[in-house]
A and B are shown apart, each in its own frame.
Chain A
Amino acid sequence: MKFEFSEDQKLFQEAFSAVLSDKCDATVVRKVWETQNRAEGLWEALAELGALGIQAPEEMGGLGFSEIELILLMEEAGRYAMPEPFLEHASVAVPTLAACLENESPESKNLESKNSVFREYLEKAISGELVITTVYSPSSYVVYGEWADMFLLINEKDSNTKELHLVSKDDVKLHPQKSLETPRKPMRVEWKPSADSLLAGGKDFERAMARGVVATSGMCLGLAQHLLDATIEYVSEREQFGKPVGSQQAVKHHLADVAIAIEHARPSVYMAAWHLSSLEPSLTSSLEAKTLDIAIVSSAKVLASKAADLAAKKSLQCQGAIGYTVENDTNFWMKKALVTASSWGSSSFHLEQIAKTL
């Protein structure tokens, strides 16, 4: 057992982080939230780095990396509060599309005509020409609806059978909502499934959902870490009663609790990412495929959500009234943390998933 990331993995994380620091600093985040226009050049830069195809096989034009490399990027995406559908696109849609193309099992193998259409979508998704976002439950909303070209949508045939479909925005009717996290723009979707749009069913459906849950957990860690770092900086400078407020034990203990929650969530999130990476690309293509352990996936999300939620609340409390204003940049991270922590299944949902395995 070895928890350390390789030098190459860390270097790729740094390269990703460098793009964000260049194209997505706090000024950019503020601008995106206020104008609701996309961050200039960010998506293109991510495509150029190969990050959009991080989880597509090399022969399909991707980087051929796994959830292990991805999880490091998700933490960075959280640290920068990246206002782009990177999670939905790169961690769910692209690998699920690639797995669908790799599926060779006789009963669910695709027709070549469908594969050639999907192959083109995948190419365009990797190059960034096409933005794909997704829902996480049959009744939930697609996010970043305005910026997306295609959606992954769930068709619930009955309570035990769910499928994922890839549908163009021209074939759906959208009902935009206003989110606390303004750039997210959730939308209710009206649509009809067809055989041509079917992307993944059975175990591959579960796998696709687990990808989203684990990536969200990584993002929660990054959001929590930024909130903690920003708050430490603030309370070390801000003085009351003639000394930094961060020297008061009450404040110290709040922030120690946040650090404890983050550090205890992180190894479980890495474990979940590693678990996904140890599975076959398509779980329906082989009978011997290892099964998905939902308790590992759900506990990562429960722990990371708790850390993000705690970080948001303690960050607000420790920054006092200044933290309560929209003039303070951390308000974006705080709001994104609250939204992200409850996305891809609430904690009660995931606790129920764990309970089923006990």
Chain B
Amino acid sequence: MDLSFSKKEIEFQQEVREWLKANIPKKRLPSLDSREGFEEHRQWERELHKAGWSVPNWPAEFGGRDCSIFEWLLFEEEYWASGAPGRVNTNGISLLAPTLFAFGTTEQKERFLPKMASGEEIWAQAWSEPNAGSDLASLNTKGVLDGEYFILNGQKTWCSRGAFADWLFCIVRSDPESERHHGLTYLLVPADTEGMERREVGRLDGQPAFAEIFFTDAKVHISNLLGEIGQGWSVAMSTTSSERGLNLRAPGRFMAAVGNLVKLQKELGDTKYLSKIAELWADSHAYRWICYSAASKLLAGQELGSDTSMMKVFWSDLDLKIAGLALEMLGERAEFMEGSPDAYDDGSWMDAYLFALAGPIYAGTNEIQRNIIAERVLGLPRK
């Protein structure tokens, strides 16, 4: 056991810090889930990419800088502490890319990864359906191969950033006779596919980037098949216990949010919340060290398994507690939205809270995660 950072890691951290200090936008960008904000965030992805910071843990040939998982964790700490904008391509980078690296053909990797890294193509996950949320395996959108094309029919929904994204990663039922986890296929779908329509759905915060997607005889070329036909479920799930389990929410986000709580407390000068802030500081560090410990496991050649379910419940609860405490501290100003003259930091804590409310729902609800923990980690009886 050696829990110190190496000289190289500390120098890396310093380099990230200095670059961010000199380059982050001076003004807060509009929400990345609004039409204008989406494009402004894409522009920011380009800036990051030019300097090699959009996907630092990827191989250099695809636009990264080959940094280690520890360096990536440090990068994220610096990134969020600097107050830099949210990442509009997170779902592509953290959910799709690990699968592309694992299952993509050479052509697919060369075709998709560099444009994902540069923000030229922004990705949305289209997995859920009106009748397949937590129970994803009941999905029913058809994608049957006919010659060189899959013919898609059906509906996807609750697709984050789906209204503006350039590409979607989908799971479809390629064998119409199949049930549950069988007969599913993982497809990469261009958003301008003929026969595909999108409808914006306002999210809780009113932002329109959430989408419903309708496929009517939409044709997707076979070159956009990821993995094998019928293996969609295992392709989608196989990387969740690897690095991808760590990628979605790095601890740096929550450490920075607690830092902002401390700042808020100092500005308000109210000491009665100190103990609650200290508790969230401890929790954010608990998540920090479990992530470094998980990274250490991965480097030692182990898999994370269902540990990532525990981490998901923990960070999503933590995120809500942090934003919830800020609203409590703001008192009657908590409800003031963006644009109100007396809103604290232009209503950013309410935005953070509304965003955090989604945490226990997406990426597998926390109830589903608790079932997974109980059955797969603790070995409790399924029935």
Q: Give a binary string over B352-383; 1 marks a CB under 8 Å from any A CB, 0 the rest.
A: 00000000000000010111011101111111
Cβ contact within 8 Å between B371 and A270: no
**Interface size of B by Cβ–Cβ distance < 8 Å?**
47
**Cα A270 to Cα B292 with chains together (Å):** 12
Give the contacting residue for A263; candidates B1, B282, B290; CB below 8 A. Answer: B290
Residues of B within 8 A of A232 (CB): 378-380
Query: Chain B residues with Cβ under 8 A from A249's Cβ?
Result: 367, 370-371
A351 near B275 with CB under 8 A, answer: yes
Question: Contacts A247-B383, A252-B374, A259-B377 known; A264 to B293 CB distance under 8 Å?
Answer: no
Residues of B within 8 A of A251 (CB): 380
Query: CB of B268 within 8 A of chain A?
Result: no
Q: Which single member of B1, B277, B286, B373 contacts A68 (CB below 8 Å)?
A: B1
CB-contacts of A287-330 with B (<8 A): 295-296, 298-299, 302-303
Q: With A253-B370, A256-B373, A354-B278 in contact, is A264–B380 under 8 Å at CB?
A: no
Instruction: Give the interface centre of A5, A228, A252, A302 by most chain B CB atoms within 10 Å.
Output: A252
Residue A278, interface by CB 8 Å = yes
Q: Mark A257-275, 1 if CB is under 8 A from B, else 0.
A: 1011001111110110011
Contact of B300 with A by CB under 8 A? yes
Tell me which of B6, B286, B295, B373 has the highest count of chain A C-beta atoms within 10 A of its own C-beta.
Answer: B286
**In the complex, are the beta carbons of A235 and B380 less than 8 A apart?**
yes
Write the B244-257 contact mask toward A (1 if CB under 8 angstroms, else 0): 00000000000000
Interface 9-mer from B75-83, B230-238, B307-315 = B307-315
Q: Is B201 an interface residue (CB 8 A)?
A: no
Chain B positions within 8 Å of A352 at CB level: 274-275, 278
Contact assessment for A246 and B381 in the assembled complex, using a CB-CB cutoff below 8 Å: yes
Contact between chains at B1 and A2 (CB < 8 Å):
yes
B3 contacts A3, C-beta separation under 8 Å:
yes
- Whether the pair A267, B289 counts as a contact (CB closer than 8 A) is yes
Known: A68-B1, A255-B374, A264-B314. A358 touches B277 (CB 8 A): yes
Q: Is B4 an interface residue (CB 8 A)?
A: yes
Which residues does chain A contribute within 8 Å of B186, judged by CB atoms?
none
Whole-angstrom distance between the alpha carbons of A184 and B287 in the complex? Answer: 34
Chain B residues within 8 Å of A257, by CB: 370
Please give me the residue from chain A that is nearest to B259 by CB atom. Answer: A358
CB distance from A345 to the nearest CB of B (A): 13
Please measure, in the bound complex, the distance between the C-alpha atom of A351 and the C-alpha atom of B300, giving whole angstroms.
Answer: 34
Question: Does A1 have its Cβ within 8 Å of any Cβ on chain B?
Answer: yes
User: Roughly how many angstroms separate A147 CA and B77 CA in the complex, as a whole number?
Assistant: 49
Q: A256-B373, A348-B275 are in contact. Are A274 and B3 (CB under 8 A)?
A: yes
Is A195 among interface residues, defined by CB-CB distance under 8 A?
Answer: no
Q: Are A267 and B1 in contact (CB under 8 A)?
A: no
In the complex, are the beta carbons of B282 and A299 less than 8 A apart? yes
Complex contact B1–A5 (CB within 8 A): yes
Contact A252 B289 (CB under 8 A): no
Tell whether A244 is near chain B: CB-to-CB under 8 Å: yes
Is the CB of B285 closer than 8 A to any CB of chain A? Answer: yes
Closest-CB distance, A235 to chain B (whole angstroms): 7
Is B199 an interface residue when CB atoms closer than 8 A count as contact? no
Question: Chain A contacts of B293 at CB under 8 A?
Answer: 3, 266-267, 270
B-contacting residues of A (Cβ < 8 Å)? Answer: 1-6, 9, 68, 228, 232, 235-236, 243-244, 246-247, 249, 251-253, 255-257, 259-260, 263-268, 270-271, 274-275, 278, 295-296, 298-299, 302-303, 348, 351-352, 354-355, 358
Top 5 closest pairs, chain A to chain B, by CB:
A252-B374, A267-B289, A299-B282, A354-B278, A256-B370
Q: Other CB < 8 Å A-B pairs besides A255-B380, A271-B289, A302-B278, 13 of them? A: A2-B2, A9-B1, A252-B371, A252-B380, A253-B367, A256-B370, A259-B310, A259-B373, A264-B286, A295-B281, A296-B285, A299-B285, A355-B274
Contact surface of B with A, Cβ cutoff 8 Å? 1-6, 9, 70, 262, 274-275, 277-279, 281-283, 285-287, 289-290, 292-293, 295-297, 299-300, 307, 310, 313-314, 367, 369-371, 373-375, 377-383
19 residue pairs A–B, Cβ–Cβ below 8 Å:
A1-B4, A1-B9, A1-B70, A1-B292, A2-B299, A3-B3, A5-B1, A6-B1, A235-B380, A236-B380, A243-B381, A251-B380, A253-B370, A256-B310, A265-B286, A298-B282, A355-B274, A358-B262, A358-B274
